[in-house]
Structure 1
Amino acid sequence: MTTWYTADTHFGHENVLRFCDRPFSSVEKMDAVLIANMCERIREDDDLWIIGDFAFGPRSKDAEYLRSVFDQLPGARKHLVVGNHDREPTLSLPWDTVSPFFELRDGPLKQLNTLCHLPMITWNHARRGALQMFGHVHDNWLGSRNSVNLGVDVWDFAPVQFDDVAARAKDLPKNLHWDEVEPK
Protein backbone atom coordinates (compact mmCIF):
# COMPACT_ATOMS: atom_id res chain seq x y z
CA MET A 1 0.00 0.00 0.00
CA THR A 2 1.24 3.46 -0.96
CA THR A 3 -0.02 6.81 0.25
CA TRP A 4 -0.55 9.52 -2.38
CA TYR A 5 -1.17 13.23 -1.89
CA THR A 6 -2.57 16.03 -4.00
CA ALA A 7 -4.38 19.35 -3.50
CA ASP A 8 -6.38 21.97 -5.38
CA THR A 9 -7.75 19.71 -8.11
CA HIS A 10 -10.69 22.13 -8.55
CA PHE A 11 -12.65 19.60 -10.62
CA GLY A 12 -15.25 21.32 -12.77
CA HIS A 13 -13.87 24.82 -12.16
CA GLU A 14 -13.75 26.68 -15.45
CA ASN A 15 -12.14 29.84 -14.04
CA VAL A 16 -9.14 28.01 -12.53
CA LEU A 17 -7.90 27.48 -16.10
CA ARG A 18 -7.41 31.23 -16.44
CA PHE A 19 -6.57 32.06 -12.80
CA CYS A 20 -3.71 29.56 -12.67
CA ASP A 21 -2.86 29.48 -16.36
CA ARG A 22 -3.59 25.74 -16.48
CA PRO A 23 -2.63 24.33 -19.90
CA PHE A 24 -6.00 22.81 -20.79
CA SER A 25 -8.39 23.80 -23.57
CA SER A 26 -11.44 23.05 -21.40
CA VAL A 27 -12.44 22.05 -17.90
CA GLU A 28 -13.45 18.64 -19.29
CA LYS A 29 -9.88 18.14 -20.56
CA MET A 30 -8.46 19.27 -17.21
CA ASP A 31 -10.68 16.86 -15.29
CA ALA A 32 -9.74 14.00 -17.64
CA VAL A 33 -5.99 14.66 -17.30
CA LEU A 34 -6.16 14.95 -13.50
CA ILE A 35 -8.02 11.63 -13.28
CA ALA A 36 -5.75 9.93 -15.85
CA ASN A 37 -2.63 11.06 -13.96
CA MET A 38 -4.05 9.63 -10.73
CA CYS A 39 -4.98 6.36 -12.43
CA GLU A 40 -1.44 6.02 -13.86
CA ARG A 41 0.09 6.14 -10.38
CA ILE A 42 -2.39 5.05 -7.74
CA ARG A 43 -3.00 1.32 -7.38
CA GLU A 44 -6.00 -0.60 -6.12
CA ASP A 45 -4.81 -0.87 -2.49
CA ASP A 46 -3.39 2.67 -2.18
CA ASP A 47 -4.58 5.65 -0.16
CA LEU A 48 -5.37 9.00 -1.80
CA TRP A 49 -5.34 12.19 0.27
CA ILE A 50 -6.82 15.29 -1.33
CA ILE A 51 -5.68 18.26 0.72
CA GLY A 52 -8.55 20.55 -0.08
CA ASP A 53 -10.47 22.11 -2.93
CA PHE A 54 -11.66 18.93 -4.62
CA ALA A 55 -14.10 20.88 -6.82
CA PHE A 56 -15.29 24.45 -7.28
CA GLY A 57 -17.56 26.56 -9.44
CA PRO A 58 -21.14 25.82 -10.49
CA ARG A 59 -20.41 22.11 -11.02
CA SER A 60 -19.34 21.76 -7.39
CA LYS A 61 -23.02 22.04 -6.45
CA ASP A 62 -24.03 19.20 -8.79
CA ALA A 63 -24.08 16.02 -6.69
CA GLU A 64 -24.31 13.77 -9.76
CA TYR A 65 -21.27 15.38 -11.40
CA LEU A 66 -19.26 15.20 -8.16
CA ARG A 67 -20.14 11.54 -7.64
CA SER A 68 -19.12 10.78 -11.22
CA VAL A 69 -15.69 12.34 -10.65
CA PHE A 70 -15.31 10.72 -7.23
CA ASP A 71 -16.14 7.27 -8.62
CA GLN A 72 -13.32 7.59 -11.16
CA LEU A 73 -10.69 8.23 -8.47
CA PRO A 74 -8.37 5.26 -7.97
CA GLY A 75 -7.33 3.73 -4.68
CA ALA A 76 -8.89 1.69 -1.92
CA ARG A 77 -9.30 4.61 0.47
CA LYS A 78 -9.99 8.25 -0.35
CA HIS A 79 -9.54 11.00 2.20
CA LEU A 80 -10.42 14.70 2.14
CA VAL A 81 -8.70 17.37 4.17
CA VAL A 82 -11.28 20.13 3.80
CA GLY A 83 -10.30 23.19 1.80
CA ASN A 84 -11.88 26.63 1.67
CA HIS A 85 -13.89 25.70 -1.46
CA ASP A 86 -15.17 22.31 -0.28
CA ARG A 87 -18.93 22.61 0.33
CA GLU A 88 -21.65 20.21 1.43
CA PRO A 89 -22.01 18.31 -1.87
CA THR A 90 -18.27 17.51 -1.79
CA LEU A 91 -18.30 16.75 1.94
CA SER A 92 -21.20 14.32 1.39
CA LEU A 93 -19.24 12.09 -0.98
CA PRO A 94 -18.29 8.67 0.46
CA TRP A 95 -14.83 9.67 1.67
CA ASP A 96 -13.12 7.34 4.14
CA THR A 97 -12.25 10.38 6.24
CA VAL A 98 -13.16 14.07 6.11
CA SER A 99 -11.26 16.43 8.37
CA PRO A 100 -10.13 20.07 8.39
CA PHE A 101 -6.71 18.94 9.63
CA PHE A 102 -5.00 15.58 9.87
CA GLU A 103 -1.79 14.15 11.30
CA LEU A 104 -0.52 11.14 9.37
CA ARG A 105 2.54 8.92 9.77
CA ASP A 106 4.46 8.52 6.52
CA GLY A 107 8.00 8.45 5.22
CA PRO A 108 10.95 6.23 6.12
CA LEU A 109 10.97 7.50 9.72
CA LYS A 110 7.17 7.28 9.98
CA GLN A 111 7.10 10.77 11.46
CA LEU A 112 3.75 12.35 12.23
CA ASN A 113 3.23 14.83 9.36
CA THR A 114 0.51 17.47 9.26
CA LEU A 115 -2.00 17.84 6.44
CA CYS A 116 -3.89 21.14 6.28
CA HIS A 117 -5.25 22.93 3.24
CA LEU A 118 -3.80 26.25 4.39
CA PRO A 119 -0.04 26.73 4.81
CA MET A 120 1.05 26.96 8.42
CA ILE A 121 4.09 28.47 10.06
CA THR A 122 4.39 25.74 12.72
CA TRP A 123 2.68 22.47 13.66
CA ASN A 124 2.95 19.49 15.99
CA HIS A 125 6.35 17.74 15.81
CA ALA A 126 7.75 20.43 13.48
CA ARG A 127 11.05 20.46 15.39
CA ARG A 128 11.26 16.65 15.05
CA GLY A 129 11.28 16.61 11.26
CA ALA A 130 7.55 16.40 10.60
CA LEU A 131 6.52 18.06 7.36
CA GLN A 132 3.42 20.13 6.81
CA MET A 133 1.68 19.47 3.49
CA PHE A 134 -0.74 22.05 2.15
CA GLY A 135 -2.51 23.43 -0.91
CA HIS A 136 -4.52 26.64 -1.29
CA VAL A 137 -1.84 28.80 -2.90
CA HIS A 138 -1.84 27.01 -6.28
CA ASP A 139 1.29 28.05 -8.19
CA ASN A 140 2.09 31.14 -6.10
CA TRP A 141 4.49 29.52 -3.62
CA LEU A 142 6.24 26.13 -3.43
CA GLY A 143 6.61 26.32 0.33
CA SER A 144 9.62 26.14 2.60
CA ARG A 145 12.05 23.50 3.79
CA ASN A 146 9.49 21.86 6.06
CA SER A 147 6.13 23.01 4.68
CA VAL A 148 5.44 21.94 1.10
CA ASN A 149 2.74 22.92 -1.39
CA LEU A 150 1.09 19.79 -2.85
CA GLY A 151 -1.18 21.61 -5.28
CA VAL A 152 -1.54 20.07 -8.73
CA ASP A 153 -0.33 23.33 -10.28
CA VAL A 154 3.22 22.72 -8.99
CA TRP A 155 3.33 18.92 -9.40
CA ASP A 156 2.53 18.50 -13.12
CA PHE A 157 -1.14 17.86 -12.33
CA ALA A 158 -0.37 14.53 -10.65
CA PRO A 159 -0.38 13.09 -7.12
CA VAL A 160 2.88 12.56 -5.25
CA GLN A 161 4.31 10.28 -2.58
CA PHE A 162 6.03 11.32 0.62
CA ASP A 163 9.50 10.74 -0.86
CA ASP A 164 8.71 13.28 -3.62
CA VAL A 165 7.58 15.81 -1.00
CA ALA A 166 10.65 15.25 1.19
CA ALA A 167 13.00 15.59 -1.79
CA ARG A 168 11.41 18.90 -2.80
CA ALA A 169 11.49 20.15 0.80
CA LYS A 170 15.28 19.75 0.90
CA ASP A 171 15.61 22.17 -2.04
CA LEU A 172 13.28 24.82 -0.65
CA PRO A 173 14.46 27.76 1.46
CA LYS A 174 14.16 27.87 5.21
CA ASN A 175 11.07 29.74 6.35
CA LEU A 176 12.14 33.30 7.20
CA HIS A 177 10.19 33.26 10.48
CA TRP A 178 11.09 29.76 11.61
CA ASP A 179 13.49 30.80 14.37
CA GLU A 180 10.95 33.31 15.70
CA VAL A 181 8.12 30.81 16.06
CA GLU A 182 10.21 27.72 16.88
CA PRO A 183 13.22 29.00 18.85
CA LYS A 184 15.73 26.38 19.90
Structure 2
Amino acid sequence: MVCVRVLYASEHHSTQEIASRIGARLRTHGHHVDVRELASALGGQGLPRADAFVMGSAVHDGAWLPTAEAAVRVGAEGLREQPVWMFSVGMSAALPRLLRLLADRAVQPRVAALVDVVNPREHRRFSGVIRREHLDRKGAVLFSLLGCRYGDHRDWAAVEAWADDIARQLTALPARGPAD
Protein backbone atom coordinates (compact mmCIF):
# COMPACT_ATOMS: atom_id res chain seq x y z
CA MET A 1 0.00 0.00 0.00
CA VAL A 2 1.35 3.41 -0.99
CA CYS A 3 0.72 6.37 1.33
CA VAL A 4 -0.34 9.49 -0.53
CA ARG A 5 -0.97 12.99 0.78
CA VAL A 6 -3.44 14.95 -1.35
CA LEU A 7 -2.93 18.58 -0.35
CA TYR A 8 -5.00 21.51 -1.59
CA ALA A 9 -5.66 25.24 -1.23
CA SER A 10 -9.20 26.32 -1.97
CA GLU A 11 -11.04 29.57 -1.51
CA HIS A 12 -14.56 28.57 -2.56
CA HIS A 13 -14.35 24.77 -2.02
CA SER A 14 -14.09 23.84 -5.73
CA THR A 15 -10.42 22.83 -5.46
CA GLN A 16 -11.11 21.08 -2.16
CA GLU A 17 -13.79 18.97 -3.86
CA ILE A 18 -11.41 18.11 -6.72
CA ALA A 19 -8.75 17.07 -4.18
CA SER A 20 -11.33 14.94 -2.35
CA ARG A 21 -12.36 13.26 -5.61
CA ILE A 22 -8.71 12.53 -6.44
CA GLY A 23 -8.21 11.08 -2.96
CA ALA A 24 -11.32 8.92 -3.22
CA ARG A 25 -10.25 7.64 -6.60
CA LEU A 26 -6.76 6.76 -5.34
CA ARG A 27 -8.36 4.86 -2.45
CA THR A 28 -10.32 2.71 -4.92
CA HIS A 29 -6.94 1.56 -6.22
CA GLY A 30 -5.94 0.42 -2.73
CA HIS A 31 -3.73 3.34 -1.71
CA HIS A 32 -3.74 4.89 1.77
CA VAL A 33 -4.76 8.53 1.19
CA ASP A 34 -4.86 11.57 3.46
CA VAL A 35 -6.57 14.68 2.03
CA ARG A 36 -5.92 17.96 3.81
CA GLU A 37 -5.31 21.66 3.37
CA LEU A 38 -1.89 22.35 1.88
CA ALA A 39 -0.83 25.26 4.11
CA SER A 40 -1.56 23.39 7.34
CA ALA A 41 0.05 20.16 6.09
CA LEU A 42 3.33 21.78 5.03
CA GLY A 43 3.40 24.73 7.41
CA GLY A 44 5.87 24.96 10.25
CA GLN A 45 6.67 21.32 10.94
CA GLY A 46 8.24 20.37 7.64
CA LEU A 47 7.09 17.84 5.11
CA PRO A 48 4.64 15.24 6.44
CA ARG A 49 5.61 11.61 5.92
CA ALA A 50 4.26 10.08 2.71
CA ASP A 51 5.34 7.99 -0.26
CA ALA A 52 3.92 10.54 -2.71
CA PHE A 53 2.11 13.87 -2.89
CA VAL A 54 -0.66 15.30 -5.07
CA MET A 55 -0.94 19.05 -4.56
CA GLY A 56 -3.33 21.60 -5.98
CA SER A 57 -4.54 25.12 -5.61
CA ALA A 58 -7.11 27.49 -6.95
CA VAL A 59 -5.54 29.99 -9.31
CA HIS A 60 -6.39 33.65 -8.78
CA ASP A 61 -4.76 36.39 -10.86
CA GLY A 62 -2.45 33.86 -12.51
CA ALA A 63 -1.03 32.41 -9.30
CA TRP A 64 -1.71 29.76 -6.69
CA LEU A 65 -3.31 31.12 -3.53
CA PRO A 66 -0.65 32.93 -1.46
CA THR A 67 -0.71 30.48 1.46
CA ALA A 68 -0.32 27.54 -0.93
CA GLU A 69 2.49 29.17 -2.85
CA ALA A 70 4.34 29.99 0.37
CA ALA A 71 3.85 26.46 1.76
CA VAL A 72 5.17 24.85 -1.42
CA ARG A 73 8.21 27.12 -1.49
CA VAL A 74 8.98 26.27 2.16
CA GLY A 75 8.63 22.53 1.49
CA ALA A 76 10.20 22.57 -1.98
CA GLU A 77 13.47 20.85 -1.05
CA GLY A 78 11.69 17.84 0.45
CA LEU A 79 9.11 17.77 -2.32
CA ARG A 80 11.81 17.52 -5.00
CA GLU A 81 12.88 14.24 -3.36
CA GLN A 82 9.37 12.73 -3.54
CA PRO A 83 7.04 11.67 -6.34
CA VAL A 84 4.76 14.71 -6.73
CA TRP A 85 1.86 15.57 -9.01
CA MET A 86 0.46 19.11 -9.10
CA PHE A 87 -2.83 20.56 -10.30
CA SER A 88 -4.20 24.07 -10.71
CA VAL A 89 -7.86 25.02 -10.78
CA GLY A 90 -8.91 28.04 -12.81
CA MET A 91 -11.85 29.17 -14.87
CA SER A 92 -10.85 28.67 -18.50
CA ALA A 93 -13.96 26.58 -19.25
CA ALA A 94 -16.10 29.58 -18.25
CA LEU A 95 -14.62 31.64 -21.09
CA PRO A 96 -16.03 31.90 -24.60
CA ARG A 97 -14.46 29.42 -27.04
CA LEU A 98 -11.74 31.63 -28.54
CA LEU A 99 -10.67 33.03 -25.17
CA ARG A 100 -10.74 29.52 -23.69
CA LEU A 101 -8.39 28.25 -26.40
CA LEU A 102 -6.01 31.12 -25.69
CA ALA A 103 -6.23 30.64 -21.92
CA ASP A 104 -5.61 26.91 -22.17
CA ARG A 105 -2.39 27.56 -24.08
CA ALA A 106 -1.22 30.51 -22.02
CA VAL A 107 1.62 30.11 -19.58
CA GLN A 108 0.94 31.57 -16.16
CA PRO A 109 4.44 32.66 -15.11
CA ARG A 110 3.90 32.43 -11.34
CA VAL A 111 2.33 28.97 -11.59
CA ALA A 112 5.08 27.84 -13.99
CA ALA A 113 7.76 29.11 -11.60
CA LEU A 114 6.18 27.19 -8.71
CA VAL A 115 5.99 24.03 -10.81
CA ASP A 116 9.67 24.50 -11.71
CA VAL A 117 10.57 24.74 -8.00
CA VAL A 118 8.99 21.34 -7.26
CA ASN A 119 9.63 19.59 -10.60
CA PRO A 120 6.57 17.30 -10.33
CA ARG A 121 5.97 14.23 -12.46
CA GLU A 122 3.07 16.16 -13.99
CA HIS A 123 1.14 19.40 -13.61
CA ARG A 124 -2.53 19.47 -14.73
CA ARG A 125 -4.94 22.35 -15.15
CA PHE A 126 -8.63 21.90 -14.42
CA SER A 127 -11.56 24.28 -14.49
CA GLY A 128 -13.53 24.87 -11.34
CA VAL A 129 -16.68 26.62 -10.21
CA ILE A 130 -17.33 30.31 -10.77
CA ARG A 131 -20.34 32.04 -9.26
CA ARG A 132 -21.35 35.70 -9.27
CA GLU A 133 -20.59 36.03 -5.54
CA HIS A 134 -16.98 34.98 -6.19
CA LEU A 135 -16.31 38.23 -8.04
CA ASP A 136 -16.28 41.83 -6.93
CA ARG A 137 -18.37 44.31 -8.90
CA LYS A 138 -15.59 45.19 -11.36
CA GLY A 139 -14.78 41.53 -11.93
CA ALA A 140 -18.44 40.65 -12.52
CA VAL A 141 -18.81 43.44 -15.09
CA LEU A 142 -15.68 42.30 -16.95
CA PHE A 143 -16.83 38.68 -16.73
CA SER A 144 -20.15 39.62 -18.36
CA LEU A 145 -18.56 41.85 -21.01
CA LEU A 146 -16.28 39.00 -22.06
CA GLY A 147 -19.27 36.68 -22.48
CA CYS A 148 -18.18 34.29 -19.74
CA ARG A 149 -20.52 31.74 -18.12
CA TYR A 150 -21.05 31.21 -14.43
CA GLY A 151 -21.39 27.66 -13.18
CA ASP A 152 -19.66 24.43 -12.31
CA HIS A 153 -17.16 23.74 -15.10
CA ARG A 154 -15.34 20.82 -13.49
CA ASP A 155 -14.73 17.87 -15.79
CA TRP A 156 -15.04 15.00 -13.32
CA ALA A 157 -14.19 12.39 -15.95
CA ALA A 158 -10.87 14.15 -16.63
CA VAL A 159 -10.14 14.46 -12.90
CA GLU A 160 -10.86 10.76 -12.33
CA ALA A 161 -8.85 9.68 -15.37
CA TRP A 162 -5.88 11.68 -14.10
CA ALA A 163 -6.24 10.14 -10.63
CA ASP A 164 -6.37 6.67 -12.22
CA ASP A 165 -3.16 7.44 -14.12
CA ILE A 166 -1.48 8.59 -10.90
CA ALA A 167 -2.68 5.41 -9.17
CA ARG A 168 -1.07 3.27 -11.87
CA GLN A 169 2.22 5.11 -11.42
CA LEU A 170 2.00 4.77 -7.64
CA THR A 171 1.84 0.98 -7.83
CA ALA A 172 5.47 1.01 -8.95
CA LEU A 173 6.58 2.88 -5.80
CA PRO A 174 7.93 1.05 -2.74
CA ALA A 175 5.42 1.23 0.14
CA ARG A 176 6.48 2.60 3.52
CA GLY A 177 3.30 1.90 5.53
CA PRO A 178 0.59 4.27 6.77
CA ALA A 179 1.48 7.95 7.02
CA ASP A 180 1.61 9.47 10.47
Same fold (TM over 0.5): no
Q: TM-score, normalised by structure 1?
A: 0.32
Q: TM-score, normalised by structure 2?
A: 0.33
